[in-house]
């Protein structure tokens, strides 16, 4: 390391080199122990190539640098949460940055930059309210943004409409963009990726296309369910995926359902998506909905009575975008018409948004009531934890019907049946499908129930 001291500042040596320890070696590699993935990533990006070049000079044969993350079990540092560690290391990194020379590849930056051209500046972690429905996904996204290309790669965030998927992956992009100089961040919807690819084919510019996507440091693709049935684009994404994965570049995708439920997706691409961390976003609880509205009010420096906030949160339950829409409308009304916002005004102005949400929930209520009546049970029994055959089978029928005639995902159906997991719903649907094949009485029964439910729903 002596030769390095002439080239690097004392701060850099203290910050990075003194945190490396010899761990192991083979003929062609040296394994270095480091205290965290973040340190590993930084060393890889800043110095690995220079160290490997120096090792080649000294030994005359290529020696690869490998890393082993080793946290001291008993140190107070090790007892802190990984999020705290990431934060601390990030702060230390920023502090040491001032005195470090500019790195040849990616390096941490402290200056606030101009917005990224394809990212919405509003989509940041600061603006994202974390509740029980999204804390796993939000913390994963936060960890990725501090340490791209390491622990959670690839990551797939899935969930229903308007629950914050785009907000979360763009927050990753915005954070990496602000924190790391020269990081090449690509955010596209799956539709844009497809169009880009088809244009490249048409214009015979596939080499440019490959250069664009296969040299990204962070690739963010929104709404991958759009790729269903698009075999050529899937094939191209498969190769893009492999190139980035091999190069330890971060990929994050979003989808409106678990990948296992995407029907027209090639297995090998599905396997790639499933290889990393898959996290879901559920609809927010009443308290989280309230916190989201309060945050939006705070940001716009406005205020509305608590009773109106409660009214909105009680009536808009499954979609944060609609929650925002309701708030925006009521604030605009107050400003343009100059009236105080009362519960009555809110009820009047938000009638259509409220009705849409009630209709969405009526379907599943109808289904549960109709199925419970048919089997002479109560809806509470259907939603209960009881697993006796007399209840389990009707519950599976109700779940199957819910999947057939509503837009709800398996995650959402699971929530409506006492907070069950989406895999339970998938299992139930499979079970009913099998029974319909093996027992000729089942299919007519399910079809009749579906017809009755549709008719009574139409009558209102």
Ligand X SMILES: Nc1ncnc2c1ncn2[C@@H]1O[C@H](COP(=O)(O)OP(=O)(O)OP(=O)(O)O)[C@@H](O)[C@H]1O
- Using DSSP's 3-state secondary structure scheme, residue 348 falls into helix
226 vs 241 by CB, closer to ligand X = 226
12 vs 280 by CB, closer to ligand X = 280
Q: Annotated binding residue at 131?
A: no
Selected from 35, 148, 149, 162, the binder of ligand X by CB under 6 A is 162
Selected from 324, 433, 443, 452, the binder of ligand X by CB under 6 A is 324
Strand 218-222 with 250-255, pairing: parallel
Helices (H) and strands (E) in the chain, counts: 22, 10
127 vs 384 by CB, closer to ligand X = 127
Selected from 165, 225, 383, 395, the binder of ligand X by CB under 6 A is 165
- Where does this chain touch ligand X (CB under 6 A) — which range of 13-21, 93-101, 125-133, 371-379? 125-133
CA atoms of 177 and 81, how far apart (whole Å): 24
Selected from 164, 276, 394, 414, the binder of ligand X by CB under 6 A is 164
Q: Measuring CA to CA, how many Å separate 108 from each of 146, 241, 254, 359? A: 10, 25, 27, 49
360-363, long-range: CB < 8 A, 24+ apart: 360/318, 360/406, 360/407, 361/317, 361/318, 362/457, 363/402, 363/405, 363/406, 363/453, 363/457
Selected from 45, 166, 318, 349, the binder of ligand X by CB under 6 A is 166
- The encoded tokens of residue 357 equal 């949400």
133 vs 363 by CB, closer to ligand X = 133
Residue span 131-160 as binding mask against ligand X, x where in contact by CB under 6 A, dash where not:
---x--------------------------
CA atoms of 207 and 220, how far apart (whole Å): 20
User: Is 257 among the residues that bind ligand X (CB under 6 A)?
Assistant: no
Are 204 and 165 within 8 A, CB to CB?
no
Closest distance of CB 160 from ligand X, Å: 7
Q: Annotated binding residue at 166?
A: yes
User: Is 128 among the residues that bind ligand X (CB under 6 A)?
Assistant: yes
Are 216 and 243 within 8 A, CB to CB?
no
User: Is 308 among the residues that bind ligand X (CB under 6 A)?
Assistant: no
Residue list for the binding site: 162, 164-166
Residues of this chain that bind ligand X (CB under 6 A): 127-129, 134, 161-167, 256, 292, 320-321, 324
Residue list for the binding site for ATP: 162, 164-166
């Amino acid at each position: 390391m002596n030769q390095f001291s002439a080239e690097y500042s004392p701060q850099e040596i203290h910050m990075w080199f003194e945190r490396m320890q010899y761990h192991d070696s083979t003929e062609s590699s040296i394994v270095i122990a480091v205290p965290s993935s973040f340190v590993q990533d930084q060393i890889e990006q800043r110095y690995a190539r220079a160290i490997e070049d120096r090792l080649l000079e000294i030994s005359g044969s290529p020696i690869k640098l490998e890393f082993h993350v080793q946290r001291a079990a008993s140190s107070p540092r090790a007892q802190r949460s990984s999020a705290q560690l990431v934060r601390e290391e990030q702060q230390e990194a920023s502090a040491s940055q001032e005195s470090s020379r500019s790195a040849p590849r990616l390096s941490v930056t402290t200056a606030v930059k101009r917005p990224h051209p394809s990212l919405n500046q509003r989509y940041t972690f600061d603006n994202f309210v974390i509740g029980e429905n999204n804390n796993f996904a939000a913390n994963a996204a936060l960890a990725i943004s501090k340490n791209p290309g390491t622990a959670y790669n690839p990551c797939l965030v899935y969930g229903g409409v308007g629950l914050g998927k785009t907000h979360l992956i763009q927050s990753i992009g915005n954070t990496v963009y602000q924190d790391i100089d020269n990081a090449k961040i690509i955010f596209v919807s799956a539709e844009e990726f497809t169009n880009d690819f088809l244009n490249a084919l048409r214009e015979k510019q596939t080499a440019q296309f490959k250069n664009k996507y296969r040299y990204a440091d962070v690739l963010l693709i929104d709404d991958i369910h759009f790729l269903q049935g698009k075999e050529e684009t899937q094939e191209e994404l498969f190769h893009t995926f492999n190139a980035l994965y091999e190069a330890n570049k971060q990929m994050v995708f979003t989808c409106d359902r678990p990948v296992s439920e995407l029907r027209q997706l090639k297995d090998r691409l599905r396997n790639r998506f499933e290889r990393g961390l898959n996290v879901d976003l559920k609809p927010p609880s009443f308290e989280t909905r309230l916190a989201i509205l309060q945050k939006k009010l705070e940001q716009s420096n406005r205020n509305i009575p608590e009773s109106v906030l409660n009214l909105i949160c009680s009536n808009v339950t499954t979609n944060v975008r609609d929650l925002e829409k309701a708030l925006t409308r009521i604030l605009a009304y107050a400003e343009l018409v100059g009236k105080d916002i009362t519960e009555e005004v809110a009820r009047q102005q938000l009638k259509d948004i409220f009705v849409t949400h009630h209709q969405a929930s009526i379907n599943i209520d109808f289904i549960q009531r109709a199925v419970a009546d048919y089997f002479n049970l109560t809806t509470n029994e259907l939603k209960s934890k009881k697993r006796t055959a007399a209840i389990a089978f009707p519950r599976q029928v109700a779940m199957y019907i819910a999947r057939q005639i509503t837009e709800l995902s398996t995650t959402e159906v699971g929530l409506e049946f006492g907070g069950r997991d989406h895999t339970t719903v998938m299992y139930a649907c499979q079970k009913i499908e099998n029974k319909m094949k093996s027992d000729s009485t089942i299919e007519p029964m399910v079809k009749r129930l579906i017809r009755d439910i549709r008719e009574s729903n139409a009558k209102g």
